[in-house]
Amino acid sequence: MESGRSGSLKIDRASFIVTVDPARRVIRDGSVVIQNERITHVGKTDELHDVPAERVIDAAGGVLTPAFVNGHMHISYAHAVRGLFPDDFVGRERLLQVFRLQSAMTEEEEYWTSLLGIIELLRSGTVSLVDPGSTRHLDACLQVYADSGCRVVTGISLIDQPSELELPYFATDEALRRTEAFIRKYDHRLEDRVRAWAMPFSTDTCSQELLAGARHLADIYGTGATIHHAGGAPVDGRRPTEYLEEIGALGSNVLLAHASGIDDVEVDVIVRSQASVVICPSTALKEGSGLGLRKLPELLARGVNVALGSDSANSSNYLDAVRMMNAAALGFKDGRRDARMVPAEQALEMATLFGARALGLEHEIGSIEVDKKADLVLFDTRRAEWRSLLDPVNNLVYSADGRSVRSVVANGRVVVDEGRVVFADEAEVADRVQALGEQLLARTGTRINRGRWPIV
């Protein structure tokens, strides 16, 4: 299904184009021209007036940005049970319930919840995501990715150590064999929009051999690896990040998710290894885990690629990248009591170019430049929350949210048009997921959280 594809497309007369290019240009009264999946022209509207296109989107009054990158997003289960857990039900106890429900999901349930998750992501401007191995029925979900035009990094969540988590458990050799087979089968699918990575779950659920072996497979196949990571308790007498480096599990193709509790020594290790980091500010804030204490400013100051992630729709409870940028910018200002922390421009870099670098895709996406893939978001700024429009980056991060997205282009295809996704009926999918979620809870005997107030 290729809904919305146009051989050539012009997004014309945008009030501002926020390019995030090497010069960080913000072009006033600009246009972008796309041929098939790539950008061919970026410039002033007057300069591109005579460049033809099969379809022209009148972007007058709009702000055009690169599409967003979600660096850590459990896509395939949470919409079925969104809002189930009270806001003070956090930590290991909550994760046990999360994975219990996830492991009980059928192929049909995973298909529809993934579709609704992708709809939410695209409608708020996110085209690319990393699903850290939580999708079990990938063949079914590939159809969602094909129809929607999104870019997905995915894999098998690997564990080879005893754990209370209800996740797939394999002997070390079998885990590595499965990962290699997965990479060989799925990497570069859907015109290279699917990338398959090695995905060991965490240092406390994976042996040294599995962690190092996963990184080795990523090296062999020219792909990446991601791992849930935290500082804190020593591993074999070493800081967790030092441990990963010493066993050969860190490198420029490794993405560390969350990176909570790391210290300055571990920042040095990350810099030295050239690994990337993704933080999930909305989850950290919701769980009261001390966002401002995390080492984001130090990592950014040292040139580390730091992306933004939403974790899942039952952790942060939203997937809106604009709200994620706002959470990162405000959370660190407040946490460090310093208004200079994470300015709006840096928050936008994390959601776009830095996120693309963390995925190894900076040469294809993350900025609006000629020859890059056309992953773009057009915001409707003729709305109360956007005006007056004087500094588009400031307004985007501090005033707006994803509900003002008017159009989204993914790999050259218009996939959100006038605020509506073109590849699915959103209301129908939402109703289907509601029914499936209720069935999942009944089948697993899960108590429904009715909140603290009576529903009568």
The secondary structure of the chain, three-state, reads CCCCECCEEEEEEEEEEECCCCCCCEEEEEEEEEECCEEEEEEECCCCCCCCCCEEEECCCEEEEECEEECCEECCCHHHHCCCCCCCCCHHHHHHHHHHHHHCCCHHHHHHHHHHHHHHHHHCCEEEEECCCCCCCHHHHHHHHHHHCCEEEECCEECCCCCCCCCCCCCHHHHHHHHHHHHHHHCCHHHHCEEECEEECCCCCCCHHHHHHHHHHHHHHCCCEEEEEECCCCECCECHHHHHHHCCCCCCCEEEEEEECCCHHHHHHHHHHCCEEEECHHHHHHCCCCHHHCCHHHHHHCCCCEEECCEECCCCCCCCHHHHHHHHHHHHHHHHCCCCCCCHHHHHHHHCHHHHHHCCCCCCCCCCCCCCECCEEEEECCCHHHCCCCCHHHHHHHCCCHHHEEEEEECCEEEEECCEECCCCHHHHHHHHHHHHHHHHHHHCCCCCCCCCCCC
Quick one: 455 exposed, middle or buried, by C-beta within 10 A (0-12, 13-18, 19+)?
exposed
Domain contains 434: no
Backbone angles phi, psi at 301, to 5 degrees: -65, -25
Total number of domains constituting the chain: 2
> Is 1 within a domain?
no
Q: At how many degrees (to 10) do helices 426-444 and 107-123 cross?
A: 140
Same domain, yes or no, for 278 and 410? no
Query: pTM of whole model > 0.75?
Result: yes
Q: Which domain holds residue 261?
A: 68-358
- Domain assignment of residue 427, yes or no: no
pLDDT (0 to 100) of residue 2: 41
Of 331, 358, 385, which one is at a domain's C-terminal end? 358
For residue 282, the SS3 value is helix
- Kindly state whether residue 376 falls inside one of the protein's structural domains: yes
443 belongs to a structural domain = no
C-beta separation of 181 from 198 below 8 A: no
Residue 243 sits in the same domain as residue 380: no
Clarify whether residues 18 and 160 are in a common domain.
no
Whichever domain contains 141, its CATH number is: 3.20.20.140
Hey, which residues does 34 pair with through a beta bridge? Answer: 9, 39
C-alpha angle 351/356/361, rounded to 5°?
165
Same domain, 91 and 228: yes
Answer with the one of 339, 358, 377 that is the final residue of a domain.
358
Residue 437 located in a structural domain: no
pLDDT of residue 6: 53
Which of 240, 262, 251 is closest to 212 using CA atoms?
251
Q: Indicate if 81 and 182 belong to the same structural domain.
A: yes
Q: Are residues 236 and 98 in the same domain?
A: yes
Q: pLDDT tens across 196-225, in order? A: 999 999 999 999 999 999 999 999 999 999
Same domain, 53 and 170: no
Question: Pairing mode, if any, of strands 254-260 and 225-230?
Answer: parallel
Residues 13 and 120 in one domain: no
The last residue of one of the domains, among 327, 358, 389, is 358
Quote the Cα angle for 263-265-270, to 5°. 95
Same domain, 54 and 75: no
Query: Same domain for 209 and 331?
Result: yes
Cα–Cα distance for residue pair 445/100, rounded to 1 Å: 11
Output the pLDDT for position 155. Answer: 97
pLDDT tens-digit readout, 89-145: 888 888 888 888 988 999 999 999 999 999 999 999 999 999 999 999 999 999 999
| Structural domain contains residue 223 | yes
CATH of the domain at 372: 2.30.40.10
Which stretches in the chain have pLDDT values below 70?
Answer: 1-6
Whether 27 and 137 share a structural domain: no
Instruction: Kindly state whether residue 386 falls inside one of the protein's structural domains.
Output: yes
Residue 454's pLDDT is: 82
Domain check: are 129 and 159 in the same one? Answer: yes
